[in-house]
Chain A
Amino acid sequence: MKTKDLLRELENMLTKDQINTDEEDLYDASADRYKKYAKVRRVLDVPKPQAIVYPNTAEEVSKLLKFCNENKINVIPRSGKTATEGGLENWKEETIVIDAKNLNKTIKIDEYNMQATVQAGVVLGELEEELRKRGYTTGHSPQSKPVAKMGGLVATRSIGQLSTLYGGIEDMVVGLECVFPDGHISRIKNVSRRAGGPDIRHIVIGNEGALCYITEVTVKLFKYFPENNEFHGFLVKDMDTGIKVLREVMVNGYRPSVARCYSEEDAKQHFYHFYKDHCVVIFMAEGNKEIAEATGKGIEMAAEKFKEGIVEKVDSGLLEEWFENLNWSQQDIDDEYEGMLENDSHTGFTTEVSGDWETIIKIYHNVMKRIKEEYHRVEDLTLLGGHSSHSYINGTNMYFVYNYEIHCAPEDEMRVYHHPMQRIIVEETLKLGGSMCHHHGIGKFRNEWTKEEHGSAYYMLEKLKESFDPNNIMNFGTIYPQEEGEKYQK
């Protein structure tokens, strides 16, 4: 549909101030942080969406989706704009972005039943601030907390830094409301648990805007006891020891909120003031006093068991301070943009994978070896390392981080630098049976491997798309591979 006609139709559904066609905003809406460098240098190769719209209610979302479905217009759902994997990148000429800016109400904070209901456009950091004033927390603390919004956080199956205690967003969502391409509004009710057939929340959580639009979410609350926080840290001789210490804590039933292990290279960028060329393992124990103390003891016991590999303990004051300054604000994001304008470099790239305890360390070593041996621009790397930051009873994740000097034109950055390394990481992970995407989602640049990631269960994923989004209007190219989009991936 021509933009002029589209805008006329949109004006029949919304007021003028709910429709944005500002050229600069449309440029901004054509890609997310995946192509951050090309975006800042203004060399994006993707089309701009035709409009950004700001519905006020689920009913307006319904009308918009129905209209787009009937006219086969691509829809990109958007909330806090912190997507890192291309989930907000546009691959279609005929596209609108549905932004959750006006869905910004906190509907209910229910302290007795320990749950809070908010609309999709509520910033997590703001909700958290309000809750903390009352002595509660959502327990969700991704680094993007000051900017990311509830709709996006649920849509990406995000996870926070305190996940080892509180879980990922999938463990927090009680119920929600979402809208499908045919305009149907579904409300999944808030109950403590049920056995009412398959858990349909999981169709929505992690759909990355490729199946439905999330309008409202109810999440669990937890009591907030910051005064009991304990910090424990160790310099360890290698990643293998570090991962063993994490495992020991987990399999003995302790649930520290933070449990992390950094490679030497990665430790250097975070803990340059105390890492002394070693890997670093850190923990935070939290909760009520008794639990926090018991968890602290469990951590010390695990370290004692592997004392051969422990170089020294880290002063807990240093850790506490580090935690306080971990989150990225909008200012940090803006500063990075400014930096990319000036310099041929940025804060680097990451690829996050997961595996069981036995596998993760093999993946780590295989990836390091292959990148060092095979990658043709290895000399440009200024950092190559990784950390495990989210642990479970049966395994953990690995967050590979790499930074480099950029010697190519901004439009070639991905194919010269990120893609060859991402490919090695994904290949090594899938080969050993791990998952190629621990928490950022598949987005548009790992969809090449979606089938391999899911194996025979891809059948189920495919059927979801076919039944909920038969016209393929939801976030074209996200999660599901699309031949037409390949030109933007190379």
Chain B
Amino acid sequence: MKIICLVKFIPDVENIQFDKKKNVLMRENAKLTVNPDDETALAAALKVKELAPDTSVEIVTMGPKGVTRKFQDLLRRDVDKGILISDALYVGSDTYATSRILGAYLKTQQADCIFTGTHSLDGDTSHVPAQIAEILGIPQMNNVITLDMDQLLQGKALLQVNSEGDTLHFQMNLPGIISFEKSREYKMPYIRYEDFQRDVSDKIKIFSNEDLQLKEEEVGLTGSLTEVSRTFMKEVSKKDSITVKNDDEGIERVYQFLKEKGYL
């Protein structure tokens, strides 16, 4: 069985720094991290491989040429191959152009399943998996929480899907795109000690537009159907701060505050 996982690297928003003087997020210092939903998808793929070791798991990501340490770390797990799709022409692609690029690559591959995340934390449109499915002419399902591994190995995808809190069961014909939601069900395996400093460059292949042969007007800003008309940084105004003591009164105050704001 061949599984291709689409993985996106996003700025690690939890650890992003804030320049208090200029009142802006310091994006350039932000570390990259694997989009959590995608990590669950890859963890599920590696679980399949653990059960059926002849499974091949390939990860595909789109981004700038420099192969990040995070990408190498994924390949230090039991991943067979890493494809980095990178070309100056692709810069500025919206979700539609991105789907077209990824679709062009995937068309050349014969995967039994494509695993993706449902949302990405930074864009959060959920467009890409469905659009790729459209391009490839195969089924796709969002918000998958679990997958029956035994059935999958027999060529059938039985999916448990989160539908606004309810769990629904679906069966999908393969090949298809299974888009996971972040969950604890599938946990990324640890990197083995011996593999920590392993050179994984032989597992990486870089694809450019020379390989994918898309027309210039189909990709990048020109190929994008949507346009970002304006971006703005959320104003962060200085809030009044109240310091309470670590006593009953202080605890009560914090409790009431959280309750008032709907956190409790």
Contact = CB atoms under 8 A, between A and B. Distances in A.
A312 B50 CA distance: 57
Interface in A376-395: 376-377, 379, 382
A351 B233 CA distance: 40
B213 interface: no
A305 interface: no
Contacts of B245: 321
A416 B243 contact: no
A134 interface: no
A342 to B, nearest CB: 9
Contacts of B73: 407
A107 interface: no
A379 B32 CA distance: 10
Interface in B9-59: 15, 20, 31
A415 B15 contact: no
Nearest to B187: A344
B154 interface: no
A318 B15 CA distance: 25
B193 interface: yes
Nearest to B73: A407
B15 A376 contact: no
Interface string A128-168: 00000000000000000000000000000000000000000
B69 A409 contact: no
Contact of A408 (B31, B69, B190, B241): B190
Interface residues of A, number: 18
B196 A276 contact: no
Contacts of B246: 321, 324-325
A273 B196 contact: no
Contacts, number: 35
A276 B15 CA distance: 16
Contacts of B229: none
Nearest to B18: A277
Nearest to B195: A408
A335 interface: no
Interface in A407-440: 407-409, 412, 415-416
Nearest to A381: B31
Contacts of B191: 407-408
B10 to A, nearest CB: 15
A113 to B, nearest CB: 37
A416 B196 contact: yes
B237 interface: no
A390 B191 CA distance: 39
A377 B70 CA distance: 11
B193 A412 contact: yes
A88 to B, nearest CB: 25
Nearest to A344: B190
Given A408-B196, A409-B192, A379 B31 contact: yes
A321 B241 CA distance: 15
A318 B20 CA distance: 20
Contacts of A277: 20
B231 interface: no
A407 B190 contact: yes
Contacts of B243: 273, 317-318, 321
B241 A273 contact: yes
Interface in B234-252: 241, 243, 245-246
A412 B70 CA distance: 19
A35 B42 CA distance: 30
Interface string B154-177: 000000000000000000000000
Interface in B205-264: 241, 243, 245-246
A415 B193 CA distance: 8
A415 B245 CA distance: 41
Given A379-B31, A379-B69, A409 B241 contact: no
Contacts of A379: 31, 69-70
A407 B15 CA distance: 17
Nearest to B69: A379
Interface string A306-323: 000000000001100100
A377 B73 CA distance: 10
Contact of B196 (A318, A324, A325, A377): A377
Nearest to A407: B191
A362 B31 CA distance: 29
B188 to A, nearest CB: 9
B125 interface: no
Contacts of B15: 382
Nearest to B15: A382
B109 interface: no
B108 interface: no
A276 B238 CA distance: 13
Contacts of A407: 73, 190-191
B191 to A, nearest CB: 5
A324 B244 CA distance: 13
A325 B244 CA distance: 13
Contacts of B190: 407-409, 412
A97 B192 CA distance: 34
Interface string A266-286: 000000010011000000000
Given A276-B20, A325-B246, A408-B196, 12 more contacts: A273-B243, A277-B20, A318-B243, A376-B197, A379-B31, A379-B69, A407-B73, A408-B190, A409-B192, A409-B193, A412-B193, A416-B193
Q: Which 9 A/B pairs are nearest by Cβ-Cβ distance? A: A409-B190, A412-B193, A408-B190, A379-B69, A407-B191, A408-B191, A325-B246, A376-B197, A416-B196
25 contacts: A273-B241, A273-B243, A277-B20, A317-B243, A321-B243, A321-B245, A325-B246, A376-B196, A377-B196, A379-B31, A379-B69, A382-B15, A407-B73, A407-B190, A407-B191, A408-B191, A408-B193, A408-B196, A409-B190, A409-B192, A409-B193, A412-B192, A412-B193, A415-B193, A416-B196
Interface of B: 15, 20, 31, 69-70, 73, 190-193, 196-197, 241, 243, 245-246
Interface of A: 273, 276-277, 317-318, 321, 324-325, 376-377, 379, 382, 407-409, 412, 415-416
